[in-house]
Amino acid sequence: MAGTITVLLVDEDSDVLELTKTFLEREDDAIEVTTETSAPDALDRLESDSFDCVVSDYSMPSMSGIEFLRTVREREPGLPFFFFTGKNRAEIQTEAGDVEVTGYVQKGTGTDRYADLAEGIRVAVGPA
Contact 58, 92 (CB under 8 A): yes
CATH number at residue 71: 3.40.50.2300
How far does Cα 3 stand from its chain's mean position? 19
Q: What residues have CB less than 8 Å from 35, skipping those under 6 apart?
A: 8, 9, 10, 11, 14, 17, 18, 21
pTM confidence score: 0.91
Q: Please name which of 29, 30, 22 lies closest in space to residue 9, comparing C-alpha atoms.
A: 22
Q: How many domains does the chain have?
A: 1
- What single-letter amino acid sits at 25? E
Give, for all 128 residues of the chain, the pLDDT tens digit: 458 999 999 999 999 999 999 999 999 999 999 999 999 999 999 999 999 999 999 888 888 888 999 999 999 999 999 999 877 667 776 666 677 889 888 887 788 999 999 999 999 998 65
Range of the domain at 37: 5-125
